[in-house]
Amino acid sequence: MDRIETIRAFVAVAQENSFTAAGRRLGLSTKLVSKYVRHLEQRLETQLFNRTTRSVALTDVGISYLERCRPILDQIDDLDSLVRERQSALAGPIRLTAPTGFGSTRLTEALVPFLQEHPQIELAMKLTDTRVALIEEGLDLAIRIGSLPDSTLIARKLSDMPMVLCASPDYLERRGRPEDPEALAAHSCLADSNQPEQNVWRIRSQGKEHVLKLDAAIQCNAPGALATMALGGLGIARSPLYAVENHLEAGRLEPVLPDCETTVLGVYALYPPNRHLSRRLRALIDHLAGEFGMRWSPGLP
Amino acid sequence: MDRIETIRAFVAVAQENSFTAAGRRLGLSTKLVSKYVRHLEQRLETQLFNRTTRSVALTDVGISYLERCRPILDQIDDLDSLVRERQSALAGPIRLTAPTGFGSTRLTEALVPFLQEHPQIELAMKLTDTRVALIEEGLDLAIRIGSLPDSTLIARKLSDMPMVLCASPDYLERRGRPEDPEALAAHSCLADSNQPEQNVWRIRSQGKEHVLKLDAAIQCNAPGALATMALGGLGIARSPLYAVENHLEAGRLEPVLPDCETTVLGVYALYPPNRHLSRRLRALIDHLAGEFGMRWSPGLP
DNA sequence: AATGATTATGTACATTTTGGAGATAAAAAC
DNA sequence: GTTTTTATCTCCAAAATGTACATAATCATT
């Protein structure tokens, strides 16, 4: 039996001077009100009311008890209201982490309209390229780019993220443009050490899978930095599309082996496996899924 | 499921950062703690903790919720303490009613030592010879002298109270001393109108029951007043023993038909049929039973 | 990297509690 | 004196409870 309900019944009887009226007020049967109050009296081993079938009067213990119950019930009601209000308004903190490169570019661009629309959300974003333990760090959400999301957390795939091969025009002029995947072995390759198999490039060409074990001259865990190196003519970079798409469009980088298929990663939102995801977190994830969606899908112009 | 227990479990987990440690502290199994917290989260439709099998962290809603739960639990614990302390100390009010005559004499005499022994008891005594509705008047105890106690209330018999016949020596000198019950018809009789059959005197003499329907010249509902009238020589009074015992001892009144048996009333303590009688009320009733006990039993010197 | 210990939780189930229905007793109104 | 209303008792079908067993995950140890 819920003790709060028994106290609530007691207070209602005290206010109405009637079990029947109290029952009407609480939406309970008179029998149940009687049972609740009796249960309370048994638990306290004291009498809260003196009563006949037609009259009810508080005992002096009952009077003292009532005085203390009222504020407690008010506070309990406020407890419930607190939670309900927090849920209904998209307000409060969201703490998220993302890889540096993606976070400072595409992710931030996507967040701006969302935060404009929901000004009460307080974003705390931590950009890092090292692996973060979400729960221990007190984080709500992690954006990850990869192939295998963390198995503890729930992963919602936001979009595809193909890895593309590219180099600067200057580099290609100097070193020649590879005509097939095997030709890559003769080139300087820039490898993204964020990937599990950074030096193993899998490339599908004309229906055939090429597994190239390259001796990457340069490795870096920051895709943006790798792009910058490629811009500087240091080699052929295998980078996630988001990091180089602007350079490709501007002609500053050129695609290498454009007819080949490379690895396609995913952009994932990772969050704890809670059964009650806050509404603002859900709203953000939905927003990002909408923003990223098909943006980097392979095969699109 | 008791919501207070679920809140208590939640608070304990928050403090210990561990379901297992919280369970140890509360004397509950880890499974039950888990169940309680989950129940609370379901009821609130929000997540209070983020957790893995090895780490627990409050959500921000959980932090706000915790801050408000702590004082509520303290107040609920105080609620329980309040009642327990009131029970353990013989303190607080006792409101009782009694017939005027008995209340101002024998009852008051009996109360003095009890109140001296229990100075924290606050007595409110209402002396009246009219019938009092205990519960409606907010009274705890009624002392009644009669034969049939009120059937709604619980009656605890404290002692016998015989009705005695007596008159002043002057009256008896003037009007003669009755030799048998039937002779009373020729006398002025003073009847106590508190009795249901004030004018029907039942007297047992030599094994025979005499039912006398007297035309009482004087009726009064105050035994003390009747005694005073008897002292003034106005007739033969049938009074409860307590009201005349001092006069009899001093010779101011003499017994009439002393070898006969008259009605024997009872002194009763009446109180509401509550299952939890306060300790101080019980203590008072026990004390009065001890004081009055055999004091007015028929046949004693 | 594999293994063991510990923690949190899911599922099943015997037991206990719950809340309603019917009945009873008492008190007040008529 | 009778009727109506109120408070409560008892019984019981349904629901909830709390434990036991098992599972999965995480961290420490080897």
Report the pLDDT value the prediction gives residue B150, as an integer from 0 to 100. 56
CATH 3.40.190.290 intervals, chain A: 89-297
Contacts with A67 from chain B: Cβ below 8 Å = none
Q: Which residues 212-241 of B are in CB contact (within 8 Å) with A?
A: none
- ipTM of the assembly? 0.71
Which chain C positions have some atom within 7 A of a protein CB? 6-11, 17-23, 25-28
Of B52, B86, B276, the CB nearest to A135: B52
pLDDT in tens, A204-236: 888 888 888 887 778 787 777 888 889 988 899
Nearest residue: Cα versus C1' of C18: A1
Indicate whether A134 pLDDT > 90.
no
Most confident stretch, A69-78, A147-156, B44-53: A69-78
Look over chain A and give the mean of its residue pLDDT values, rounded to a whole number. Answer: 86
Query: Each residue's pLDDT tens digit in chain B (301 positions)?
Result: 899 999 999 999 999 889 999 998 888 999 999 999 999 998 888 889 988 888 888 888 888 899 999 989 989 988 888 887 777 778 888 888 888 788 888 898 899 888 888 888 888 888 877 777 777 777 888 888 887 655 567 788 899 999 899 999 999 999 999 988 888 888 888 887 767 677 788 888 888 888 888 877 777 777 778 888 889 888 899 888 998 999 999 999 999 998 888 888 889 888 877 777 778 888 899 999 998 988 888 766 5
Span A3-88 CATH architecture: Orthogonal Bundle (1.10)
Residue type, B98: A
**Under CATH, what is the fold of the domain B161-265?**
D-Maltodextrin-Binding Protein; domain 2 (3.40.190)
Output the 3-class SS for chain A.
CCHHHHHHHHHHHHHHCCHHHHHHHHCCCHHHHHHHHHHHHHHHCCCCEEECCCCEEECHHHHHHHHHHHHHHHHHHHHHHHHHHHHHCCCEEEEEEECHHHHHHHHHHHHHHHHHHCCCEEEEEEECCCCCCCCCCCCCEEEEEECCCCCCCEEEEEEEEEEEEEECHHHHHHHCCCCCHHHHHHCCEEEECCCCCCCEEEEEECCEEEEEECCCCEEECCHHHHHHHHHCCCCEEEEEHHHHHHHHHHCCCEECCCCCECCEEEEEEEECCCCCCCHHHHHHHHHHHHHHCCCCCCCCC
- Chain A contact set for B272 (CB, 8 A): 47, 50-51
CATH of domain B3-84: 1.10.10.10
Share of chain A above pLDDT 90, in %: 29
Q: Please tell me if residue B277 touches chain A, with a CB cutoff of 8 Å.
A: yes
Q: Where in chain B is the domain with CATH 3.40.190.10?
A: 92-160+269-292, 161-265
Nearest CA in chain B to A74: B72
Q: Which CATH architecture has domain A89-297?
A: 3-Layer(aba) Sandwich (3.40)
> Distance in angstroms, CA of B131 to C1' of C15?
51
- Give A39 CA → C23 C1' in Å: 22
* Among A46, A152, A271, the residue to mutate for chain B (most B Cβ within 10 A): A46
Instruction: Count residue pairs from A and B with Cβ separation < 8 A.
Output: 123
Arch. (CATH architecture) of B92-160+269-292: 3-Layer(aba) Sandwich (3.40)
For CATH 1.10.10.10, list the domain ranges present in chain A.
Answer: 3-88
Give the closest-approach CA distance of A148 to chain B in angstroms.
Answer: 19
